[in-house]
């Protein structure tokens, strides 16, 4: 019975979103892909913030009861519930902004009531101002039947049903990128980093306290999963200060929405903007940086960036590809003494000829700690294999999150996880794989063990998986960072016992020939009986 319930949960979230997609596709005046997406995400935001408010009120009622007070008493309600303050950062909503008000509204009035709720939220909270576009629903003015059907479907989406720990806002975002598939490309900034990939990065660099920055933060998934990791380690998310920036206006609003719902304090700047042309956090240095920049981004450069201080110590990155501009931007924001960064890039960045001098200097300056090639098909909008880069400003060793690290100067750990593709994700329109919890744990262990005191760098090597490499060898290979240039790959053909294999093949062939002869004889006998011969 329990298995059936789990299966139903997994099915329902996609079924609900599928129904919403079809309602929006069929509805008149539903607008472009972006307008459909924004309408959908705004509804989900209202649903989630309303549910958190309802949960908060119920928790307060239970606390009052435990203290011998009657929460239904008018005086008690006035003192504690009518203008409630929640210890976990849940937002107190006025009556017109509550989901219970929205879901009970007659269909003809829904568009106006929804926009009234948005206006009330925006004017009542500085944190929530800018999370959405006011007037979204009256501007589109969906037919009463259409908006009612949409609200009723969204009402089924609940953290209670689908898991408080999940990034459900991000999940809805990912679904609509995939299903509408309009401009949903990495270069356009319309992208969602899978849950398992974020977990891998967070578990490797361990952003447990201090400042965390993402220069292309998208829907805020990196922050959400990092906070979840801290909570799982009995940490306090209030010890992490979140900073981010996002170029796309709608995605910027989504990130603010997502973080506000989680009660995670954050600084995403006053508006959306490009981290290259208008760095909103210029001059700030961070303990940790996590990012999934657009792969091979074009059109990032303008002449004002020619002598930018972020790359004056290296070289101006190529105008036609932003990969190394992202690397140098990230490096410019890392705390000089102990900052650590984990970010994803397309594999071409490992050995591009036009970035050789920058890569060479990064290696010589000992900024690169680990290069980890990930499996193909981890992402919905691309099937390429990508690389996780880890930069570290302190490879000299010392204490780090309870571990004692050895001196790793002038060493790089190379890891190749391309073979970890056996865990296929079911129910997707295209082939997709994910990293299992055990695989993430193993990869993190390879990295942390390599860092730890007592590890012999000369012997840290498993063929086809990982290897510790010194800078002299990297120089001898022309400063390439392609792991296959360093990790030993075994020719499995050499392990074959050819004599035994040929004997097996010959025996199988004899059996096939004997079967064919027997079938031929049976056919001849059958045709003889009806007067036909076989040539």
Q: What is the pLDDT along the chain (535 residues), one digit of tens a residue?
A: 444 444 334 447 778 888 888 898 888 877 777 788 788 888 988 998 898 889 888 888 998 899 999 989 888 888 888 888 777 668 889 999 999 999 999 999 999 999 999 999 988 887 787 788 888 899 888 999 999 999 999 998 876 666 554 556 666 766 765 554 434 444 333 456 888 898 899 999 999 889 999 999 988 888 887 887 777 776 667 778 999 999 988 888 888 888 887 778 889 998 999 999 999 999 999 999 999 998 889 989 999 998 899 999 999 999 999 999 999 999 999 999 999 999 999 999 999 999 999 999 999 999 999 999 999 888 766 667 789 999 999 999 999 988 999 999 999 999 999 888 777 665 555 567 888 999 999 999 999 999 999 999 999 999 999 999 999 999 999 999 999 999 988 755 445 555 665 676 566 566 656 666 666 666 556 555 544 443 3
Distances (CA, A) of 48 to 85, 98, 157, 262: 18, 10, 8, 10
CA–CA distance, 218 with 221 (Å, rounded to integer):
7
- Cβ partners under 8 Å of residue 422, min gap 6: 433
CA–CA distance, 46 with 413 (Å, rounded to integer):
45
For the domain with range 2-164, which CATH number is right: 1.10.760.10, 1.20.1260.30, 1.20.1250.20, 2.102.10.10? 1.20.1260.30
312-334 burial, b if ≥16 CB within 10 A, otherwise e?
eebbbbbbebbbbbbbbbbbbbb
Domain boundaries, the chain: 2-164, 195-485, 498-528
Radius of gyration of the chain (CA): 29
Q: What is the CATH number of domain 195-485?
A: 3.40.50.150
To the question of pTM greater than 0.75 for the whole model, the response is yes
CA–CA distance, 219 with 253 (Å, rounded to integer):
8
SS3 388: strand
The interaxial angle of helices 356-364 and 323-333, nearest 10 deg, is 30
Q: Which helix (H) or strand (E) holds 64?
A: helix 33-66
Provide the edge-to-edge strand list for the sheet that holds 386-392: 266-267, 240-244, 210-214, 288-291, 340-346, 386-392, 368-373, 411-416, 466-470, 461-462
């Amino acid at each position: 019975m329990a298995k059936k319930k789990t299966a139903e949960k997994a099915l329902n979230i996609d079924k609900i979103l599928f129904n919403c997609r079809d309602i929006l596709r069929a509805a008149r005046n539903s607008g472009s892909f972006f307008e459909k997406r924004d309408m959908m995400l705004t509804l989900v935001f209202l649903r989630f913030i309303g549910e958190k408010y309802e949960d908060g009120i119920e928790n307060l009622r239970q606390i009052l009861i435990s203290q011998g007070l009657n929460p239904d008493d008018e005086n008690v309600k006035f003192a504690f519930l009518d203008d409630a303050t929640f210890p976990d950062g849940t937002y107190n909503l006025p009556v017109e902004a509550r989901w219970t008000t929205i879901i009970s509204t007659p269909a003809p009035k829904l568009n106006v009531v929804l926009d009234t709720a948005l206006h009330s939220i925006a004017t009542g909270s500085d944190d929530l101002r800018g999370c959405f576009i006011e007037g979204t629903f009256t501007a589109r003015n969906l037919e009463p039947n259409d908006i009612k059907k949409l609200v009723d479907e969204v009402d089924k989406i609940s953290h209670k049903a689908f898991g408080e720990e999940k990034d459900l806002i991000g999940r809805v975002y990912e679904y609509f990128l995939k299903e509408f598939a309009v401009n949903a490309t990495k270069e356009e900034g319309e992208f969602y980093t899978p849950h398992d990939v974020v977990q891998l990065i967070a578990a490797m660099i361990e952003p447990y306290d201090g400042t965390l920055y993402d220069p292309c933060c998208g829907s805020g998934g990196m922050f959400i999963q990092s906070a979840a990791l801290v909570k799982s380690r009995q940490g306090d998310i209030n010890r992490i200060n979140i900073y981010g920036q996002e170029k796309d206006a709608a995605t910027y609003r989504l990130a603010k929405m997502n973080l506000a719902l989680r009660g995670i304090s954050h600084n995403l700047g006053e508006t959306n903007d490009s981290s290259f042309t208008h760095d909103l956090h210029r001059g700030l240095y961070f303990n940790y940086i996590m990012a999934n920049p657009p792969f091979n981004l074009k059109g990032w450069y303008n002449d004002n960036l020619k002598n930018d201080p972020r790359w004056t110590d290296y070289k101006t990155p190529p105008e036609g590809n932003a990969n190394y501009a992202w690397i140098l931007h990230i490096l410019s924001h890392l705390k000089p003494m102990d900052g650590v960064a984990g970010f994803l890039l397309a594999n071409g960045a490992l050995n591009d000829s036009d970035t050789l001098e920058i890569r060479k200097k990064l290696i010589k300056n000992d900024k690169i700690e680990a290069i980890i090639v990930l499996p193909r098909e981890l992402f919905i909008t691309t099937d390429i294999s990508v690389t996780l880069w880890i930069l570290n400003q302190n490879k000299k060793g010392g204490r780090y999150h309870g571990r004692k690290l050895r001196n790793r100067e002038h060493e790089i750990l190379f890891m190749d996880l391309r073979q970890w593709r056996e865990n296929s994700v079911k129910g997707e329109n295209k082939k997709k794989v994910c990293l299992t919890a055990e695989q993430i744990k193993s990869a993190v262990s390879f990295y942390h063990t390599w860092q730890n005191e007592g590890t012999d760098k000369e012997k840290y090597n498993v063929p086809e998986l990982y290897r510790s490499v010194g800078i002299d060898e990297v120089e001898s290979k022309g400063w390439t960072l392609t792991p296959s240039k360093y990790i030993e790959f075994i020719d499995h053909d050499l392990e074959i016992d050819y004599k035994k294999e040929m004997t097996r093949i010959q025996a199988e062939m004899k059996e096939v020939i004997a079967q064919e002869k027997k079938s031929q004889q049976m056919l001849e006998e059958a045709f003889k009986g009806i007067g036909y011969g076989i040539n």
